[in-house]
């Protein structure tokens, strides 16, 4: 079963190179992205909302023009394995989610996804075969409209120098930068 | 001037493919990652903390094994153009930041970075030439140790089904999933 312009095995190889290993979450994510595009208009500019930071963002970054750094991929962690691909001018799109109720036919996927099988006991090869065979049959899909506060991007204001740390930061963040407003993230080592 | 194993022009091309265009922030970020590695031991497993979601995460994802989806790249937005690459077992590492005080010799970089030149008036070619010529001379570097609460990863607990939305979520998030605890991110379209 193909994933966008890749065969399944080509996609496995791309995941290995980018993500470091062929994680089941990214492979499943590939089919989620693929299914979303099949339900979107051919024309249009689309952004992605990813509901988990685990694995799924890498499927998005490998298969769409949306990356973390270019701002077209947003992660809002709801803890659910789901993504929304939506028209960036209207917020209209489709949400694809893992559907636990559809996993009974796929014991390895179910065992991995619901953490019923401890990692050392998972059969990696069988899990990959099930993911390929299941394809998009284990997802739910629905049409949604993203909340305005998420998809309407704010224009950012001026850049100024923080009087405390002397680094540049967006003035909209406050009278000193966010780092100097909060707890330190790190200590000096020497 | 090279960026890791790439010539500058090779890196520009990789950025264009992954990020969608050769954004100055990703090009500058390439030199930041390159400088960090020059001050880290050759052996070791390193994670990355990125202090902005803008552009810089893509330089990290192109030049290190760390991606958003594999969990080795963390974004903590302080609004500052800086990153820390640190040993994942000790938290010890180096922080590289843009140093606004070093930009006087580079008017295009200064105009872009501090938003002194409106985007339509920026000279894209000259900006790229300045970024290549400046290399890592526009950064500050210091040794830091990442706060334990950031670099010590928590083990996640069991996965359960949310009684409200019927989707799987980590039980540690609460008695219903984070989505059902908060405001909806989207409305149903049909």
The verdict on a CB contact (< 8 Å) between B169 and A79 is yes
Whether A58 contacts chain B with CB within 8 A: yes
- Whether pLDDT at B44 is above 70: yes
- pLDDT tens digits for A159-170? 999 999 999 999
Nearest CA in chain A to B69: A55
SS (H, E, C) B40-84: CCCCCCEEEEECCCCCHHHHHHHHCCCCCCCCCEEECCCCCCEEE
Contacts of A64 in chain B (CB under 8 A): none
- Measure the CA–CA gap between B10 and B2, rounded to whole angstroms: 9
B84 — phi, psi (to 5°)? Answer: -125, 130
CATH domain B8-151 topology? 60s Ribosomal Protein L30; Chain: A; (3.30.1330)
B39 touches chain A (CB under 8 A): no
Work out the average pLDDT over A120-138. Answer: 97
Can you give the pLDDT at residue B184? 75
Rg (CA), chain B: 20
- pLDDT value, residue A190: 59
State residue A115's pLDDT score: 96
Neighbours of B116 (CB within 10 A): 13
For residue range A64-81, list pLDDT tens digits in order.
Answer: 999 999 999 999 999 999
Please name the helix (run of DSSP H) or strand (run of DSSP E) that holds residue B146, with its range, or none. Answer: strand B139-146
Per-residue pLDDT at B152: 72
Return residues 87-116 of A near B (CB < 8 Å).
Answer: 91-92, 95, 97-101, 113-115
Handedness of CA A77, B162, A149, A144 (dihedral sign): positive
The answer to whether residue A143 neighbours chain B at the CB level (below 8 Å) is yes
Domain segments of chain A as ranges: 8-151, 155-190
Fold of B156-190: Wheat Germ Agglutinin (Isolectin 2); domain 1 (3.30.60)
Q: What is the value of ipTM here, to two decimals?
A: 0.94
Measured N-to-C along each axis, helices A56-63 and A24-38 cross at an angle, to the nearest 10 degrees, of 50
Give A155-190's CATH code, choosing from 3.40.1350.10, 3.30.60.80, 3.40.50.9100, 3.30.110.40. 3.30.60.80
SS3 assignment, position A89: coil
Q: Which of chain B's residues have a Cβ under 8 Å away from the Cβ of A58?
A: 67-70
What is the reported pLDDT for A157?
A: 87
Mean pLDDT within B140-156: 83
Both structure tokens of A120: 């050392």
Cα–Cα nearest to A66, from B77, B186, B18, B57: B18
Stated length of chain A: 190
**What pTM did the predictor assign?**
0.94
Instruction: Tell whether the torsion through CA atoms of B103, B108, B112 and B116 is positive or negative.
Output: positive
Residue B117, phi then psi, degrees to nearest 5: -110, 120
């Amino acid at each position: 079963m193909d994933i966008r312009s890749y065969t399944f095995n080509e996609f496995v190889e791309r995941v290995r190179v980018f993500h470091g290993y062929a994680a089941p979450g990214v492979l499943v994510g590939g089919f989620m992205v693929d299914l979303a595009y099949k339900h979107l208009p051919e024309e249009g500019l689309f952004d992605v909302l990813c509901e988990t930071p685990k694995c799924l963002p890498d499927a998005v970054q490998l298969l769409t023009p949306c990356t973390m750094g270019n701002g077209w991929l947003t992660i809002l962690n709801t803890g659910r394995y789901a993504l929304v691909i939506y028209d960036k001018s209207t917020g209209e799109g489709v949400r694809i989610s893992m559907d636990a109720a559809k996993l009974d036919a796929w014991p390895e996927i179910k065992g991995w996804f619901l953490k019923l099988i401890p990692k050392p006991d998972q059969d990696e090869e069988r899990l990959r075969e099930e993911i390929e065979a299941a394809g998009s049959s284990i997802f739910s899909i629905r049409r949604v409209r993203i909340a305005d506060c998420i998809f309407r991007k704010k224009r950012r204001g001026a850049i100024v120098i923080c009087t405390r740390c002397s680094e540049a930061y967006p003035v909209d963040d406050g009278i000193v930068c966010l780092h100097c407003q909060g707890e330190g993230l790190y200590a000096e080592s020497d």
